[in-house]
Amino acid sequence: MKRVFSRGTDAGAASIGAGVFGREMELDELRVRTLQRKSFLCHGPAGVGKTLLLSLTVVESAGVLYSPAAGTPQELYKNVASALFAVNSRLFTKACPGGIASLDSKSVVALRGIVRDALRATSYVVILDHMQRPSQTLTASVRELMLDCSVPVVSVSRSDHMEDAGFVLPLYPDRSDRMSVQNFDSQAAQQFAHWCARKEQLEAANLDQFLETTAKQSKGNPGAIKRMIQMAKLPKYVSAGQIKSALLYIDFRIAGISQ
């Protein structure tokens, strides 16, 4: 049966799927790119919703291997190996009869060889999430998956303008090889703030003012908006039915800086 995707037309549209707000176009683009089995770089600031959108794509699409984070080649191959177990890859499970626990005892060279053999002549797509300035050695492993194993690789960078893509950036030289997920504009940010407040059942005498301020202070970042609304439910930020916006924002900024 042919799968049909509906394309959203309004960045501030109602929620879809598993509680995703205003990201219909981005979700559709991820679906299409995944179905095309082509490598690309997905980038956008932390908290913008890249991982959430990718998680929905992984659930919907067959043959997607998801790596949550990797800083070294060994972590990369171990994550891909775990994903191969998760999809019951016949070649991989045959090569590792000891199960997923046996991965810890294998050297990076042995693990690399088993993963490469399992990936060749397949239609898998590998998603490498949370890549932060990957090293040259890690990038060499990504290049190996793309070129030697002929596996499409989606690299995901927490970066407004790809500054955190590091050494993987040359692997995606064309504009068409890159997908940007950006913060909401001011109107969509305010709509998202009201949507989150309803979900959290947040009430206050100055609720509208607080949500307007939150949308502005967050610069339209969905993760920041959601977090500040959750913080607003804590007793320390409420006095006489009013949300203490200034104190809340200071604590939010301090928590973000300290992470």
**Domain ranges for the chain:** 15-180, 186-258
Q: Return the pLDDT at 4.
A: 30
Question: Which pLDDT score is estimated for 88?
Answer: 82
Q: What is the pLDDT of residue 259?
A: 55
Are the C-beta atoms of 221 and 45 separated by less than 8 Å?
Answer: yes
Q: What angle do CA 136, 138, 140 make, to 5 degrees?
A: 70
What pTM, to 2 d.p., does this model score?
Answer: 0.83
Please report, to the nearest 10 degrees, the dihedral formed by the alpha carbons of residues 104, 106, 109, 111 taken in order.
-70
Nearest CA among 99, 85, 30 for reference residue 59:
30
CATH topology of domain 186-258: Helicase, Ruva Protein; domain 3 (1.10.8)
Q: Which CATH number fits domain 15-180: 3.40.50.300, 3.30.1330.10, 3.30.1490.190, 3.30.710.10?
A: 3.40.50.300
User: For the chain (length 259 residues), average pLDDT per consecutive 10?
Assistant: 31 42 91 90 93 86 88 91 86 78 81 88 89 90 92 89 84 94 96 96 97 97 96 97 97 81
